[in-house]
Amino acid sequence: MLISATRWQSGFSLIELMITLSIAATLLVLAAPGYATWIADARIRSGAELIAGGLRQAQGEAIKRNEDVEFILDPTTGTGGWTLNVVSTPAIPLPAGLFIDGVRLTQFTVAPAGNTIVTFSGLGEVRLANADATTPIQQVDITASTGVTGTRDLRVLVGAFRTGIKICDPQWTVIDANDPKACPLP
């Protein structure tokens, strides 16, 4: 009597494993530019939200205290942030915000150039002049400071319609003037 000893082996062959790894590597190479753009967009959005949140907090503090409150922006890439001060008594400690993690890799451009202060009145309106007689910040543009292409830059408008704080996309093509994503035309 003759017994056949055939054995079936389970698992992957070396060729199957190499094909799978090459397909995975190709997919990673194709996805990397999109991932870098997505990360840069997230950093830009975080920076815009941090600034808009600080401005809204300053406006709220001014209304709550019924006094002038300053929002002071430090747009330094890498270490910046913002602070709040009560104009009449600057020794009162108020909240501050720091640009952390990825937000540090974004670039902030303030208009009018060189101005870093916005003063809110006790009614929540933007003062036409700060306590130091400078023109208040009207807008802050947030862009990617790294060489990533295809990112969506954002703009924070201050004092839009006297009291508003708005995040908008300066590159959005306006079809409807009331579109909330677009920045108002000058």
Structural domains in the chain, CATH included, are 15-168 (3.55.40.10)
Cα separation, 165 vs 159, in Å, equals: 6
For the full predicted model, state whether its pTM sits above 0.95: no
Beta bridge partners of 73: 82
63-92 tens-digit pLDDT: 999 999 999 888 775 567 888 989 888 778
Look at residue 177 in the predicted model and tell me its pLDDT. 63
90-145 tens-digit pLDDT: 778 788 888 776 676 788 888 888 888 999 988 888 888 887 888 888 889 988 87
Cα separation, 120 vs 58, in Å, equals: 7
96 versus 53: the higher-pLDDT residue is 53
Q: What is the mean pLDDT of residues 35-41?
A: 85
List all residues 6 or more positions away from 133 whose beta carbon is below 8 Å from its beta carbon. none
Which value, to the nearest 10 degrees, does the dihedral of the CA atoms of residues 131, 135, 139, 140 take? -70
